[in-house]
């Protein structure tokens, strides 16, 4: 019976170590993927393009009167308000 207990303990330790190694490998893969994407893909430019396209289809009441950007519902220290999606370039706000 002692041998079966030892085998079970060894198997559990092996499973835990294998899990830790897999988590480490996944972290290395994620880091490498982020480095490649950061070098080849401009996320900020894509974000601005999506906001520009989506603001064209927003109803008039949710468009910024200054720059035609989208008005997004935000939380501030004085409560909820609508702020322009092109902040800080456009600082338009309106009470919610």
Res 91: pLDDT: 92
The per-residue pLDDT for 58 is: 66
CATH number of 43-95: 3.30.65
3-state SS, the chain, equals CHHHHHHHHHHHHHHHHHHHHHHHHHHHHHHHHHHHHHHHCCHHHHHHHHHHHHHHCCCHHHECCCCCCEEEEEEECCEEEEEECCCCCCCCEEEC
Task: Please tell me the predicted confidence (pLDDT) of residue 46.
Answer: 81
Whole-prediction pTM value? Answer: 0.43
- Print pLDDT tens along the chain (96 aa): 678 878 888 888 888 888 888 888 888 888 888 787 777 777 788 877 877 776 667 677 788 889 888 888 999 898 999 999 888 899 999 988
């Amino acid at each position: 019976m002692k041998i079966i207990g030892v085998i079970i303990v060894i198997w559990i330790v092996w499973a835990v170590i294998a899990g830790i190694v897999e988590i480490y490998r996944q972290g290395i893969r994620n880091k490498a993927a982020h480095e490649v994407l950061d070098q080849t893909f401009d996320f900020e430019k894509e974000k601005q393009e999506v906001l520009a396209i989506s603001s064209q289809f927003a109803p008039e009441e949710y468009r910024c009167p200054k720059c035609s950007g989208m008005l997004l519902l935000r939380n501030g220290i004085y409560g909820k308000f609508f702020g322009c999606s092109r902040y800080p370039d456009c600082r338009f706000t309106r009470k919610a």
